[in-house]
Amino acid sequence: MAVDAYLRFPHIRDKTIVFVAENDVWVTGRDERRAHRVSADHVPVVSPRLSPDGRLVAWSARRYRANEV
C-alpha cells in the first residue's frame, strides 16, 4: 500500500537524495524504491545537506527555542 507524504527541503548529491518528511530526515538513492529514516527526534527539522562525498548528512533542528545543527 503506497502512502502519500509531504516531502520538503530536498538536497541531491550525485545519486543520493536527502529530504524532510514528517519532521524527520530521510535518505534514499535515485534508483531506490525506499527511503531510510536518519532522524527520529520529534522536533522540526529543516535544510538537510549531504557532505561533498555524500557519506554524511547534516540538518538544522529546532530545540529549546533555538536552531541547532
pLDDT tens digit string along 1-50? 455 668 889 999 999 999 999 889 999 999 999 999 999 888 889 899 99
pTM for this structure? 0.83
User: Quick one: pLDDT at residue 4?
Assistant: 60
Cα–Cα distance, 35 to 22 (Å, whole number)? 13
Relative to beta strand 24-29, strand 66-68 is unpaired
Cα–Cα distance, 27 to 19 (Å, whole number)? 7
Cell numbers placing 36: 531510510
